[in-house]
Structure 1
Amino acid sequence: MNNQTVTYNNTYILGISFISALGGYLFGFDFAVISGALPFLRTEFALNAYWEGFLTGSLALGCIVGCLVAGNIADNKGRKPGLMLAAVIFAISSIGMAFSHNLTIFILMRFAAGIGVGMASMLSPMYIAEVSPPEKRGRNVAINQLTVVIGILVTNLVNYKLADYGENAWRWMFGLGVIPSGLFLLGVLWLPESPRWLIKAGKIDQAKKVLSKIGNAYFVDQTFTKINNSMQGGEEKQSYKAVFAKAIRPAVVLGITLAVFQQLCGINVVFNYTSTIFEAVGANLDRQLFETVAIGVVNLIFTLIAMWQVDKLGRRPLMLIGSLGLSVLYIVLAFLLQSNAHANLVSVFVLLAIATYATSLAPVTWVLISEIFPNNIRGKASSIAIVSLWGAYFVLVFTFPILAEWLGAFGPFYLYAIICLAGFFFVKSKVKETKGQTLEELETSLMGH
């Protein structure tokens, strides 16, 4: 074997990527379960538009806390302890939501679930990016998005089946989250620590041992040298202030803007308020829950397409197609809702919007956030970008029931169309292609601008 060529243990890399990405499944679970449960929760807790929005959005407030906690744990203790803690929080909060007997306890438990979601949403893509070869990194980070959509689809199917179990069906919907949480915890126990974090922490032998499981001796030497060089001058403890240093600021502003855009583009209204949208065109509860399943299936199929294309077409073209496509589809969808079109026609355009998002903004934003920050501050910089993402998600899901009550269910979609058009022009002017480059090469090129 020629020792001057890099070879990878692809099976091992895929295995650890999938286990880390199980955090995404839990994210998908907590994200989707509310859509099937809302019709029951409205009755159980006598929700008005304000409380419906706050209950749905309370997950995002927890996510913000989770990201901040995860940023510190990731930089100080490593990626693995953070993933383990996220799994434990998921399990406890799932049981807590299932046994909630008043609105305050339920919202507190959904907030706690959000802490777990926030930690996993930050740590899983970061971990995968740090253990993946550059030419496979886009696909591997997109595995995290794949497990998110599998979580959404499985949860929607379970919700659909549980809907006939009477007024307490929602308790089962939330309580079943303890099963994937337990599996995730068992999987994380087996994961190695990120070699980039180990080098940063001075654990050189352990880092080389992990790298030797990922690739051959030439890969170990080459990668170790690159990581080590990128760490020079970054050994001191990095504060959040360091993230906004002049040299790093362009990457941070880019990460924050992409994260906020991914949420304010409006698609999560479709995921979280499927029942509200279809109720507006006269669909019954069974049809509303069926639509959540259809959304889950389309989301899964087109996420697989995105995984296949993200390292071929590249990040930038997918973001451009997605933002412009959503803008057009929202205008059509708003018009259909406004004219009280048949549920089947509304369904077609809802599913087209989901397909567009799933191949573009959904996976590519996470890939870019995991790529664009320097090694020595990746934990804190990622947490700031993802805190911004969850802040935008809270604003989106909190305001939708209130806007829908004022403007009708169609009104907000005109606003989301304008945001998507603005996002298109931002991506066109600011986002550079990152496919096929190592994290260290990207650091040099991004810091050079």
Structure 2
Amino acid sequence: MCTPRETPLSYFHPCNCSPFLQKMTLLLAGVTLVSTFGSSFQYGYNVSVINSPAVVGFYNQTYLDRKGIPMESSFQTLLWSLTVSMYPLGGFFGSLMVGPLVNKCGRKGTLLINNVFSIVPAILMGTSKVAKTFEVIILSRIIVGICAGLSSNVVPMYLGEMSPKNLRGAVGVVPQLFITIGILIAQILGLTNILGNVEGWPVLLGLTGIPAVVELLLLPFFPESPRYLLIQKGNEEQARQALKKLRGWDDVDDEIEEMRQEDQSEKLEGRLSVFNLCTFQALRWQLISIIVMMMGQQLSGINAVGEMTPRKIVRWTKRGPGFLGKSRRAVLVFIVESLGRRLLLLVGFGICCVSCPIPFVMITEMFLQSSRPAAFMVGGSVHWLCNFTVGLVFLYMVEGLGAYCFLVFCAICLATFIYIFIIVPETKGKTFMEINQSMAKRNKVEIQMDKEKLNDFQPTLETLKKNEEGYSVSGL
């Protein structure tokens, strides 16, 4: 019989409970909700909120007041395309900032700083009507895109490092669930009889700052990533205290030991830059896999429909996919730990469904602490560049190919399916070190493992060169 622990932070004793509920605590649930609402929700909100026709009407009216003549249709299309495309462009810039910020300020610290990139553009967009300028909306879209680029990478990293391995997948898809909720809420509030009208659209755009304020007020009460505290700050005591709070009990020696091993690995190889990551043989297939999955996610076609659908299409036709996407991800939270990541990726790309949220979870799992920030920078950059590309070319694809343009997306989904089936291993229930070990053979790096516990430290560049000359790379 499974009975609750006496500690108020713990829901269940770590015995034969449901895998989803095992080791879940109020603190872990709280930090998950606060960080995903404060960051991921507004990411999704800003994807869809700009599609309000009232915003386009403001562009036309402002131009008419300035020039005394109506805006030409071609110029209106250009301004609208720029307004939409500046968001993923800002996301690309935000992704480039991930590594330096998370290494210097920590995961939680980066999320707190990131709120500035939401609150400032929220104020600017909310007052743009009073200021009678649409240019500030375009500028604000770049700034809030930076916020999205940072949050889309840092939140999965933060939660993945704080979660126990049996909950890492479930917790990791919560940010994607909140992204979808944000899209749905923006579509509902953007209805003409709510806020998508001449009087309400400034409020509609300015609401994106509210989740940021909530996160700014509440997140300081939650701990920093224990892995960051131990491995990068060298403070074992703070890491141990953070783990005790997150797990709800005092026995965290096993996780501390795993972090120590990862710490020794990092000291051997050093912190990897993006350039070193791209040339490091021991992580070659992990990097290729992340790039392929990120490209497949963004080029699957879903964002083309969700973000670039021509305004003449009835807006209610986009409510259904938004609702279904929210429901699908809610269910995914519960099944990701049962079915595994690889199977869900194969199914997701195999049936060309709504773009899968799993790649961000996989970045956290396939890279160790020293290479994880650089990996998120690469994955995030690919994510946003592909998003930006789709935003620029999709309308031209529709004009040239009509409905057949989706055959291009079908081919991309098929290619991604084949790659995942052949290359990507299952990561469910494995430690970061075990996942790293599973990729060693494909990377042509031999890593020895102790019978009792993992000793699979990644090799240094010097030992890697020796390996290429015929020597074996072994754990210490």
TM-score, length basis structure 2: 0.79
SS at the partner of 1:234?
Answer: helix
SS at the partner of 1:134?
Answer: coil
1:427 to 420, 424, 440: 420
Residue 374 to residue 41, structure 1, CA distance change in 2 (3 Å): farther
Q: Distance in 2 between matches of 1:67 and 1:5?
A: 37
1:415 maps onto 2:421 in alignment: no
Which ranges of structure 1 fall in alignment gaps of 5 or more residues? 327-355
Cross-structure match for 1:83: 111
Cross-structure match for 2:369: 375
Cross-structure match for 2:216: 185
2:425/2:438 contact within 8 Å kept: no
1:427-446 aligned within 5 A: 427-446=420-439
1:217 Cα deviation (Å)?
5.9
SS at the partner of 1:61?
Answer: helix
Post-superposition CA distance 1:324-357 (Å, at most 9, x none): 212xxxxxxxxxxxxxxxxxxxxxxxxxxxxx32
Cross-structure match for 2:333: 307
Cross-structure match for 1:29: 45
1:212/1:220 contact within 8 Å kept: yes
1:320 maps onto 2:346 in alignment: yes
1:24/1:144 contact within 8 Å kept: yes
1:215 Cα deviation (Å)?
2.5
2:45/2:208 contact within 8 Å kept: yes
Between stretches 292-301 and 138-147, larger displacement belongs to 292-301
- Higher RCO by CA contacts (8 Å cutoff, separation 6 or greater): 1
1:43-54 aligned within 5 A: 43=60, 46=71, 47-54=75-82
1:284-433 aligned within 5 A: 288-326=314-352, 356-357=353-354, 361-408=355-402, 410-433=403-426
1:230 Cα deviation (Å)?
1.3
TM-score, length basis structure 1: 0.84
1:72/1:380 contact within 8 Å kept: no
Q: Given residue 262 of structure 2, which amino acid in structure 1 is its aligned partner?
A: S
Residue 448 to residue 224, structure 1, CA distance change in 2 (3 Å): farther
Q: Distance in 1 between matches of 2:58 and 2:362?
A: 36
Q: Distance in 2 between matches of 1:296 and 1:376?
A: 37
SS at the partner of 2:115?
Answer: helix
SS at the partner of 2:389?
Answer: helix
1:42 Cα deviation (Å)?
6.8
Which ranges of structure 2 fall in alignment gaps of 5 or more residues? 6-12, 16-21, 64-70, 443-476
Between stretches 292-301 and 95-104, larger displacement belongs to 95-104
Post-superposition CA distance 1:369-404 (Å, at most 9, x none): 221111222112112111111111000111112322
Q: Distance in 2 between matches of 1:226 and 1:393?
A: 37
Cross-structure match for 1:337: none
Post-superposition CA distance 1:39-70 (Å, at most 9, x none): 54674675454443332121111111111212
Q: Distance in 1 between matches of 2:224 and 2:196?
A: 43
1:213 maps onto 2:228 in alignment: no
Residue 412 to residue 53, structure 1, CA distance change in 2 (3 Å): farther
Between stretches 230-239 and 123-132, larger displacement belongs to 230-239
1:88/1:185 contact within 8 Å kept: no
2:35/2:219 contact within 8 Å kept: yes
Cross-structure match for 2:188: 157
1:35/1:274 contact within 8 Å kept: no
Cross-structure match for 1:226: 258
Q: Distance in 1 between matches of 2:173 and 2:203?
A: 30
Residue 164 to residue 190, structure 1, CA distance change in 2 (3 Å): closer
2:291/2:382 contact within 8 Å kept: yes
1:8 maps onto 2:23 in alignment: yes
Cross-structure match for 1:99: 127
1:254 maps onto 2:289 in alignment: yes
Q: Distance in 2 between matches of 1:160 and 1:146?
A: 22
Q: Given residue 425 of structure 1, which amino acid in structure 2 is its aligned partner?
A: I
Residue 57 to residue 216, structure 1, CA distance change in 2 (3 Å): same
2:274/2:377 contact within 8 Å kept: no
1:127 Cα deviation (Å)?
0.6
Q: Distance in 2 between matches of 1:199 and 1:161?
A: 51
Cross-structure match for 1:341: none
Q: Distance in 1 between matches of 2:195 and 2:290?
A: 43
Cross-structure match for 1:242: 276
Q: Given residue 421 of structure 1, which amino acid in structure 2 is its aligned partner?
A: L
1:56/1:398 contact within 8 Å kept: no
Cross-structure match for 1:20: 35
1:65 to 74, 82, 93: 93
Between stretches 361-370 and 187-196, larger displacement belongs to 361-370
1:265-284 aligned within 5 A: 265-276=300-311, 279=312, 283=313
1:20/1:127 contact within 8 Å kept: no
1:84/1:185 contact within 8 Å kept: yes
Q: Given residue 428 of structure 2, which amino acid in structure 1 is its aligned partner?
A: K
Q: Given residue 277 of structure 2, which amino acid in structure 1 is its aligned partner?
A: V
Structure with the largest fraction of helix = 1
Between stretches 253-262 and 241-250, larger displacement belongs to 241-250
Residue 270 to residue 5, structure 1, CA distance change in 2 (3 Å): closer
Q: Distance in 2 between matches of 1:58 and 1:112?
A: 9
Q: Distance in 1 between matches of 2:195 and 2:143?
A: 28
1:208 Cα deviation (Å)?
0.7
Q: Given residue 260 of structure 1, which amino acid in structure 2 is its aligned partner?
A: M
Paired positions, count: 405
